[in-house]
Structure 1
């Protein structure tokens, strides 16, 4: 599995995705564009151009290149969980009885198919995975845990922490040091 975000459909014209050990060195304009579009991807090419000193067509060419190279993986909208009735958010720590490649790979595939799992991380430390999960209510969460955890013989234990307040959410990466503005 590559280092790409799973669950977000990449651009169909992405021909040279960035590999996990490969690093893109953005120039000042690319870095400023990346900073702007990851905060608000609804800005027009004209607005972006005015902020970075390029024409609208120059902005479009750069964004197309950044998408085709896999630097921009997707353009998304962040939906308020509460606005759609997903009132409970939890962090779940999963620990396997034994950590084998086939077990890890099978679990990765399983969580990628589960819409309740907003983010999943294979981690070091006392747990093997950390999942960010959403549910309508505790009954919905209980059904989810039964299907994911209790029916899985490879899982030794799980621990759940209920989120009391979402203080910050997003995928924004710090770009200021690269943009030198």
Structure 2
């Protein structure tokens, strides 16, 4: 059973969400604890799965990935087996950054990043079309990202 997250844990998590490269001493100084208990708290947060991993946020446009597509997928059948088959297939594609199983008129929402429309067409024709049981695919091209945040409010 996971321990309850207290105010000190929240402060640590907020700092790490803003800058995961902070060292133990920097975090400790900002929250008013010594390094040793700060380090123990961070280890516990990792052990309990509250901190999943540390990442660097990369500006996709500066790396040539100009096109962000939100793609909805509807399957012909929604059995446990067909859902698992789709999920196992879709996570293999490097263009797909996120896959969400959703409720409503579609089964999945995909976040896809590619260089341009031609690359997206290639992705659809070579990768998505290779997955069986897809009945409908709808692509929404993002014109402008208004808010892009990864930090959870704690």
TM-score bracket, shorter-length normalisation: over 0.9
CA distance in 2, matches of 1:161, 1:153: 22
Does residue 1:91 correspond to 2:70, yes or no?
yes
**1:160, 1:24 → 2: CA distance?**
42
- 2:137 corresponds to 1:163: no
In structure 1, stretches of 5+ residues that fail to align are 1-21, 176-181
Aligned partner of 2:28 among 14, 34, 49: 49
Larger displacement relative to structure 2 (144-153 or 34-43): 144-153
Residue by residue over 1:72-109, the C-alpha shift from the partner in whole angstroms, topping out at 9 and shown as x without a partner, is: 00000000101111110000000011111111111111
Which region of structure 1 is more displaced relative to structure 2, 76-85 or 45-54? 45-54
Of 74, 81, 98, 2:60 maps to 81
The reply to whether residue 136 of structure 1 matches residue 79 of structure 2 is: no
- How big is the shift at 1:121? 0.2
Superposed displacement of residue 143, structure 1: 1.2
Q: Is the 8 A contact 2:93 2:127 kept in 1?
A: no
Pairwise CA distance, 1:45 = 1.7
Q: Give ranges in structure 2 of 5+ residues lacking alignment.
A: none
Residues 144-159 of structure 1 aligned to structure 2 (within 5 Å): 144-159=123-138
TM-score w.r.t. structure 1 length? Answer: 0.80
Deviation per residue, 1:107-151 (Å, 9 max, x gap): 111222111111110010000000000001111111111133323
Bigger Cα displacement from structure 2, 70-79 vs 24-33: 24-33
RMSD: 1.5
User: Does the aligned pair in 1 maintain the 2:86–2:131 contact within 8 Å?
Assistant: no
Q: Structure 1 residue 23: deviation in Å? A: 6.3
